[in-house]
Amino acid sequence: MRHLHSPLLVLAGAGTGKTGVITHKIAALTSTAEDDAGSVFAVTFTNKAAREMRDRVARLVPGERRKTVHVSTFHSLGMRMLREDGTRLGFTRAFSIFDAEDCDTLLAQLAGELNLACSKPEVARWRISGWKNDLIAPGEARAGAADEEALVAAQLYGRYQSALAAYNAVDFDDLVLRPVELLREHPETLVKWRARVRHLLVDEYQDTNNAQYALVRELVGERGCLTVVGDDDQSIYAWRGARPENLQRLAGDFPNLEIIKLEQNYRSTGRILRAANTLIGNNPHLWEKSLWSAMGPGEKPRVLSCRDADDEAERVVAELMTHRFRHRTRHRDYAILYRGNHQSRGFERALRLHDIPYQVSGGTAFFERSEIKDVLAYLRLLVNPLDDAAFLRVCNTPRREIGPTSVERLGAFARERRLSLLHASVDPALSGALPGRAARNLADFGHWVTLLADNAERGDPLANVEQLLADSGYRDWVSDTSATPKAAETRLANVQELLEWLARLARDGEQRERSLAEMVAHITLLDRLDNQQDADGADAVQLMTLHAAKGLEFPYVFITGMEESLLPHHASDSEQAIVEERRLAYVGITRAQRELTFTLTRQRQRFGEWVRSTPSRFLDELPAEDLLWEGRETLSAEEQQARGKEHLAGLRALLSNS
């Protein structure tokens, strides 16, 4: 079927090849004379997904045309729009992107200024993020505040936005919200971008929030040259603003919307799919669909009942070892999935005990390491002298005898004169507000940063980064302040990796070299968008949450903790929440290609007390005839003996190789 130039919704079930739909449509659009490849834009949610899509496009689109197709995340597209046209909203091209820590610091400062009780700035940040995702302005947020906590966050919201604007900065949510404002408030900019985006393709549409929906709607306009691919059964991000009903809104906004269903699954066997279909059939649906597979029925999913969490971990690892010995598989063929990160500890202990390599998704992200945040804060300050959060992080890192009192007085001086902290530090009048030595230290720092910023803009930005590290003595400071020589070596290696990454970015497929501001903005986004650890590397068992597993697939999957209060989660106190938890279980089931095993415990320790576990209601919703419950299956004496021998042989083989 060929459908090119009117609105199209592709309902793509798990494992039905949705990414292939988008990439082949890009190839079709760019093969016709009437569509310039440079006017085709595709957006998704993570950098990993965008990279995969770009790689596939590169294999399908010939020659130079492949380089002009725009494949990015929502937030990267928004950043590009603000770089080009953000001056209409008061931003310079070198605006900064505040990370979560920067935002929390700013909110805490503002709460102090406004005398508001805000003991947990991160809670206010989440509230504000939700309002931005729903396009709710500060005034609306104040009017709709239902409790004291919401009222405090709403009072901070307006002041927070003003402060960000004063710092020439945005937060992560602004990268979608601000472009929507740009298109709605400036008709000439809207005309420009609609002319540029001749066809827009959106992946994982069920995960869009209201702001992302609005951005798509503004960009495509009445022409409606739009293709979206999604699956309401895999919408598992309501907690961060996703609105699966956005799929239904399309029909109202685009009356000529064409709907195509993809129901053949190319990933899993028949019994796994029947379990998934039966489970998700208990949810309400906008459109009915049923996955099917031509891969045969396959093995029945198993259910293992364990004594407690330690027994569960030991049983899973024993099953894995036996299976691996029996089938000569790789460690990376196995995934252990769970609802919450805390569940990983027992599995990690059991895997370490048997010297089995494993990889846990969701460890400390590279860009969250303190040494990386230090260097990036320096670079942010070089490209944006209004970035007060960056100034505060590095003005005394390494130590420059610029203490908290001096910084506080500098802040008061800057607010009084409406200057950034960097500009205030080099203002001659500062000497009248601070003691002589403190003023000189701040002035020396400010002049040094200003000189480096000027050199970076005029000359080689990477050479200036090296100069920054040398002048500041940062490497020596890292060595002196690390707990051990090994820790220092690791931290310095991280800094070197960042420099090498910057060098690659400077020349990464660009016809011109990227500016330092462009590189800093690009790296700032990486930490926020790469929320799934790449599982395609080492030969290791994969441990991850069900949320992190979305988009991945494994031959053999264990879904653990199939108990009430774990899956569904204990906070699921409404029918709507149960619906999403069921979708989460569905996502887990459809990660399995060949074999699927569920585990649960008879008792589990919670808050220091042993509590009897109740099997998850979702187990009762699976087709009973397709499940093999441990204790309900009948094995012959020969089969039991054979299984025991295989397990022992596997253990001996592993021990002999250790």
Residue 295 burial (10 A CB sphere; 0-12, 13-18, 19+): middle
Residue 531 burial (10 A CB sphere; 0-12, 13-18, 19+): middle
Beta partners for residue 556, in sequence order? 334, 595
Q: Decide if 18 is catalytic.
A: yes
Neighbour tally for 217: CB within 10 Å:
18
Q: What single DSSP character describes residue 300?
A: P
Q: What single string gives the DSSP state of each residue in 394-446?
A: HTTSS--S--HHHHHHHHHHHHHHT--HHHHHT-GGGGGTS-HHHHHHHHHHH
Is there a contact between 517 and 79 (Cβ–Cβ < 8 Å)?
A: no
Question: In 3D, which of 208, 121, 187 has the Cα closest to residue 156?
Answer: 121
Catalytic residue among 591, 593, 599, 601: 591
Angle at 550 between CA 549 and CA 553, to 5 degrees: 70
Tell me the C-alpha distance between 488 and 449, whole Å: 26
Residue 644 burial (10 A CB sphere; 0-12, 13-18, 19+): exposed
The one-letter code for the residue type at 567 is L
Pairing of strands 40-44, 199-202: parallel
Is there a contact between 312 and 343 (Cβ–Cβ < 8 Å)?
A: no
Q: Decide if 204 is catalytic.
A: yes
Look at the chain and count its residues: 658
Which residues, 6 or more positions from 512, have their beta carbon under 8 angstroms from its beta carbon?
Answer: none
Q: Decide if 44 is catalytic.
A: no
How far out from the chain centre does Cα 182 lie? Answer: 25
Q: Decide if 497 is catalytic.
A: no
Catalytic residue among 19, 92, 467, 481: 19
Catalytic residue among 16, 18, 25, 491: 18
Catalytic residue among 85, 104, 203, 595: 203
Give, in order, the Cα–Cα distances in Å from 68 to each of 26, 77, 117, 249, 650. Answer: 11, 14, 51, 31, 53
Catalytic residue among 234, 322, 597, 601: 234
End-to-end distance of the chain based on CA atoms, in angstroms? 55
Pairing of strands 603-606, 609-612: antiparallel
Tell me the C-alpha distance between 75 and 35, whole Å: 25
Residue 520 burial (10 A CB sphere; 0-12, 13-18, 19+): buried
Strands of 8-12's sheet in order across = 70-73, 40-44, 199-202, 226-230, 8-12, 258-262
Catalytic residue among 102, 174, 204, 581: 204
Active site residues: 18-19, 203-204, 234, 591
